[in-house]
A and B are shown apart, each in its own frame.
Chain A
């Protein structure tokens, strides 16, 4: 009964490179959420996706960040032309439904370091 899977667990990029973070939701879950956590802070919502659809991207930076959740395969959070300020832990969560107040279960996170 695997939980939410994320890879890689650690990712190092130089400024200007691209970062691709992957998330596989729990079995039976079709709703995926991405959050970012800066050091010593709580998690900040970025985007909510269902299969092939972005439902809420109100927390996503307008530039360089994009997310997808294709019909087949994991959800991808893509950061283009990374800058040092992008260094953070990125967490993915999933839920089985979109009911308001459905529990979100989190993965172990990807820790991105931008040199």
Chain B
């Protein structure tokens, strides 16, 4: 079936570096995408979202890029900090007409060393 996936299961960076986490999606009907951060033992925390009528959206230290041509989504974290260490999931709203069921990828574990 169609699903959201991530390119790499793990990413290790040094504190202060920029991090890029990638996600490929296969459902061309999806028009809303979200990045979540999940720390150990906690629920997913909303980071940033983007709709399909946009290519780029910026937040505080984070940027999401959407390339609909190749169905690719990325999350860029500037000046990565140890507190950014977590599992990052991308999610899409899929082809469901209501768009209420988010489809999650398996996640990328980001490890930040100081």
Contacts and interface: CB of A to CB of B under 8 A. Distances in A.
Nearest to A44: B104
Nearest to B106: A42
A101 B32 contact: yes
Nearest to A31: B100
B45 interface: yes
Contacts of A101: 31-32, 49, 51, 93, 99
Contacts of A55: 98, 100
A43 B89 CA distance: 9
A84 interface: no
B42 interface: yes
Contacts of B34: 103-104
A48 B93 contact: no
A59 interface: yes
A105 B93 contact: no
B93 A45 contact: no
A45 B42 CA distance: 17
Given A58-B101, A101-B51, A42 B107 contact: yes
Interface string B88-114: 010101001011111111110000000
Contacts of A106: 36, 43-46
A6 B49 CA distance: 24
10 contacts: A35-B102, A40-B106, A42-B106, A48-B98, A100-B98, A100-B99, A101-B32, A106-B43, A106-B45, A108-B43
Interface of A: 4, 6, 31, 33, 35, 40-45, 48, 55-56, 58-59, 91, 98, 100-101, 103-109
Interface of B: 4, 31-32, 34, 36, 42-46, 49, 51, 89, 91, 93, 96, 98-107
